[in-house]
Structure 1
Amino acid sequence: MVPLSHLFIALLTTPLFLFFLRIWRRRHAPTSRRNPPPSPPKLPVLGNLHQMGSFPHRALHSFSHRYGPLMLLRLGQVPVLVASSAEAAREIMKTQDLTFSNRPRLSIPGRLLYNYKDVVFSPYSNYWRRIRSICVLHLLSTRRVQSYRRLRKEEMSIMVEKITRLGSSSAVVNLSDALMSMTNDIICMHAGPMQKLNIVLVGAMAALGKKHGGGRNFSELLMEFEELLGVFPLWEYIPWLNWTRRFASLDRRIDRVAKVFDEFMEIVIQEHRDREEREDIDDGGFDFVDILLQFQRDNRNSSPVEDDTIKAIIMRAS
């Protein structure tokens, strides 16, 4: 049996040995490698995470003045290349776009968006090129965008009138809430202009609220969905801390929101299918869900589109 004193010494010396071994490897690494961009000093495990603070954009702005428009950060064990000038961004996004076109597989977007079936978080692949083509040619074409111009102008006028009315009464105007409300109304219009589909959305949320203890409206659920997409848990950057997630409530929130949104989108898709069987809708009355369902029917044999893909595209469009 190993004495406790020896075990204690081993626990203390092992991290120091690994730290100095890493330094030795760096100093004796081959010099023929390409020179990396300048990088701020970093800690062994955290990297530069401790330097981000509460306002990472300010920290990155300060770093750019010191280390230049292109720098390399280490967020835990994840290397991050930061471009802080128009020239560097143009080089990455236009000149070298194929080199930098891939996306990291973040766990939260993968769980919320059907294993990266959307166009934003999907890794660069044949699948991504395919759904991007669907979005560009069928959802976001110039003709399609112009067809919703009247709806956007109406919702914008309603928002301006509401802000003007509140401003004239000396009330505090929350622009974030006003913009979110307008965006939500436009999304609901796109999701179902025949009846604004808000009736269907409210009915769906009411039904789901009974099962999930909800009672919240679509805007609140959408805000929580967007908030989760912006969460970067520590175990994404330091994998050996993955065990700490069992003590956090984040996984339960992700599962709850993913389940509610999935049932919600099932109701929306089924409502569109039922409406298409009852009514003869011309192309001018099509919304995003109608367009994707039609593409699914037309390409059932050659290039099938799954319901999960439609859900993921609509969720990111919102």
Structure 2
Amino acid sequence: MKALGGFSLVDMFPSSDLLRRLTGAHAELKKLHAAVDAILETIISDHEAKRSSAAMNDEEEEEDQDLVDFLLNLKENKDLGFPFTNVEIKSVIFDILMAGTNTWNAVIEWALSEMLKNPRIMKKAQDEVRQLVFNGKGDIVDEACINQLHYLQLVVTETLRLHPSGPLNVPRENQETVVIQGYRIPAKTKVIFNSWAIGRDPNHWTDPETFYPERFLNTCTDYKGLHFQFIPFGAGRRMCPGVHYGTTIAKLVLANLLYHFDWELANGVKPQDLDMEERLGLDLRRKNDLVIIPIPYHHQAA
């Protein structure tokens, strides 16, 4: 993400072979591509070997097939009407893993930052998680709990409004000339949506700079691309493919962090003084690392 999102003169002058050689950016990207390609090829090869072994031993296919198995099934389907090879399989896996994991690290970090800056919200989210898990007579926060953590869902949603993982959505290109609110947009124009600015637009949000999860109570507005005042993942058929996977991971990680630990800011920093400066790039990160102290939590029965 750092290599893709960083500034490069080659992006300003893409036709210059000299700049490519001088900066070394192109060579670095090719090196990264080769490394990732090798990892993905290994994943596919392992699945193919497992499937071949099962076929040779006349074993039934496992019911719990994963994404790679599903894609391999498509590859073996000769009636698709279009070629579907390992190249396409690797592209799909890469898109989903990149969309659903890397950027969500930032979302988790921003959610913790906002809760630490707002102790009321932190306590409310922790109380919800701890009450749910303890009433279930367990000590593990798993996927079965996630859908019942309604306030945590509000926290994640509000985090995505203020700190979208991709501040600028993937570029689009209109196929024909259109006029929108008096603005003429010629055909073949590259269009980029600023999700960061849309989520802070005072025309659509009350106190847009305030972190207030309760704003999403009793409203149908969400991040699934149906409400254009809130599109952190884009909209339509080309919206981010890792939304469901990524949000589930983020909520699961946050729920475990909130259940098992109390959190304090390091170096005596007070909540109101917590630095929230952003570093803009391909993804939206904190400019300075979040330094916090975990304090193990042990539930005491009443």
Which TM bucket (shorter chain)? under 0.3
Give the structure with the higher percent helix.
1
TM-score by length of 2: 0.28
Which structure carries more relative contact order (alpha carbon 8 Å, separation 6+)? 2
Which has the higher Rg, Structure 1 or Structure 2? 1
Structure with a larger share of its residues in strand: 2
